[in-house]
Amino acid sequence: MKGAIIGDIIGSRFEWANVKSKEFELFTKDSRFTDDSVLTLAIANAILEKSSYESNVKAFARNYPFAGYGGNFRKWMVDLIKGPYNSWGNGSAMRVSPIAYAFDSEEEVLAEAEKSASITHNHPEGIKGAQAIALATYLARNGETKESIKKAVSARFSYDLDRTIAAIRPDYKFDVSCQGSVPEAIIAFLESTNFEDAIRTAISIGGDSDTIACMTGAIAEAYYGGVPEEIEKEAIKRLSDELKNVYTAFNNKL
């Protein structure tokens, strides 16, 4: 989960000002948390308190109403939309990473990922995206190789993970769909050499930079056995006290 939060914060300033390069300053005064971090920590809090995903996601979103949510999600969070709204957006995948740390079997991780997604993203692609990030993170946490992670995700979800970042980057544009951003985030992880390189690679694609880096960061943290302390410190000081408390509690427990 640390990697997801860090990826979101570093990627935040590039969402509407893409950089097609791995050469950039990691943090500036404009680096901030967005809806990706808020909702990731909402899922973490639901796990900590053994309470519903829906109630936590709504409560956290209402506490941070200007974090950058999509239009239908904003309506849902204030009950103008009742129940899930068939979304295939990457919001389901960006918030799922705590589940990969809290559950200890592939079956549980996939089931909980679907459960967390379907409160809003009950479209098959919305569920698929959340399960793919959760599974990749879970497998990485349990010591699987990049090749085995790639094979498992490709086989289950039929994502094309044989492309390269060099081939994707030139023509890649903003795409908030799971099907148009989750595979790219996984490829960025697969090509990375360490955690920081994973974040830089994810952001260099362009598009929905904070969310792609969030998803890539979740897997990269699990695979590389953590995150650099100095990067974590710089990111976490940008969280509110409430979000920081959940972040600390979740990491201390799991």
Write out pLDDT tens, residues 10-55: 999 999 999 999 999 999 999 999 999 999 999 999 999 999 999 9
- Tell me, what's the pLDDT at 66? 95
Give per-residue pLDDT as tens, 95-133.
999 999 999 999 999 999 999 999 999 999 999 999 999
Q: Cα(179)–Cα(222) distance, rounded to whole angstroms?
A: 22
Q: What is the pTM of this model?
A: 0.97
Domain 2-253: homologous superfamily in CATH: ADP-ribosylation/Crystallin J1 (1.10.4080.10)
- Where residue 217 falls among pLDDT bands split at 50, 70, 90? very high
pLDDT exceeds 90 at position 252: yes
Buried b (16+ CB within 10 A) or exposed e, 114-150: bebbbbbbbbebbbbbbbbbbbbbbbbbeebebeebb
Could you give the 3-state DSSP secondary structure of residue 194?
coil
Cβ count near 22 (within 10 Å): 15
Number of C-beta neighbours around residue 199 at 10 A:
29
Count the Cβ atoms, other than its own, within 10 Å of residue 25: 8
Residue range 92-104, pLDDT digits in tens? 999 999 999 999 9
220 pLDDT above the threshold of 90: yes
Backbone angle region of 143, left / alpha / beta, with phi > 0 → left and psi within -120 to 50 → alpha: left
Mean per-residue pLDDT over the chain, rounded: 97
For residue 254, is pLDDT > 90? Answer: no
Closest CA to 106 of 151, 150, 141: 141
